[in-house]
Amino acid sequence: MSYKDYWNNQVHLQIEWRKKQNNISEEYGSQNGNKYAHIVQKDEWLKTVWEQFNNKLFDYLQKEKIQHHTGSHNLLSSWVLCSNLYFGTIINDNQKEVFRLFLEYKLGIKIDSIKRVHLEFVLPDKLSPKILLGEPGGIRGTRQTTPDLAIEYISNGKEELILVECKYTEHSFYDCPVSELDYCKCVNQLKKYCVSMDKLKRKYWDYLTISKYGCSKLHFCPAYIGGYQIFRQQSLAEAILEHGNYSNVWSCVAYDGRNPSLMECMKDNINRNNIKNVTPIYSIKDEWEKLFELKTKFSVWEHQEWVNFVTENGKDNFNKDWIKYIKDRYNL
């Protein structure tokens, strides 16, 4: 399936779901100055969250001082999808236990218990992205590297951490906004020539080093075309492992398995400067971790894997009702 076909299918799916909702107005919402059937009014975004979640999610955002994404009124919002798929692990003990089993199975690790699950994760003070990564602006949830989802857990008596970038219909992890071709091609000297470090004083390359494999494969900085968001998250994971009290840190991606273009976004792409990417990174899933010399871990799972796992293992009423909603809303 092409990305265009996938996108169109998801737009149709969300429009059909909207038609069945009695609590959402028929008036189209707008984004970037245009109105679309798959976008609701801005003040109705909470109605696009499962009814068993929405009030609790609102209270959670208020308590944690999290800014929900500006595009949350788009029915294709990955932020809302993340909330619909994973907020249950925060408020429901049964689903949190199923999540523990899923992460053990998927990542091949031992999890004694999940300490806490977070949306828009940020650590305080010296472990904040403001200090670790040199990101002075923004708040939790916007204009900072705050992973969509994070899991603090205990493994063999030690505290460990999983950071997750959650995606839905996105075609890539986007391009670095301050890239300059002449410097971004210097793969062996990115720490010296990175425009983001020089102009914005970002510290991403303080924690990342390109591996021999990466030097042999990359023709540009891995953030240059398609990999910007997971590049920042990987840097944050390394920074937290270096300066925090976690014995192990993971950087993960959770995405819709019907959207293979996301994993191939560094294979054949053209950025905003109309520069074609000749970096032969065929699969982020298989190659991303090999591009760096990492102390942290990297992994990927499909949302379908999580939904199927709950279907097989979540036998209580909460999980059964959640499955019905997710199947109807996203057909996962």
Q: Which two tokens stand for residue 265?
A: 């976004």
Euclidean distance between CA atoms 257 and 254, whole angstroms: 9
Report the side by side order of strands in the sheet with 297-302. 113-119, 149-155, 158-166, 249-255, 297-302
| Angle, helices 317-330/303-313, rounded to nearest 10 degrees | 150
pTM: 0.95
Task: Decide if 166 contacts 86 (C-beta within 8 A).
Answer: yes
State residue 269's pLDDT score: 58
State residue 273's pLDDT score: 56
Q: Is 330 helix (H, G, I), strand (E, B) or coil?
A: helix
The range of the structural domain enclosing residue 64 comes to 3-330
Low-confidence ranges of the chain (pLDDT < 70): 141, 268-279
State residue 270's pLDDT score: 56
State residue 268's pLDDT score: 63
State residue 86's pLDDT score: 98
Q: Which residues pair with 151 in a beta bridge?
A: 117, 162
Structural domain count of the chain: 1
Euclidean distance between CA atoms 286 and 300, whole angstroms: 9
State residue 75's pLDDT score: 98
Rounded (5°) CA angle 321-141-75: 45
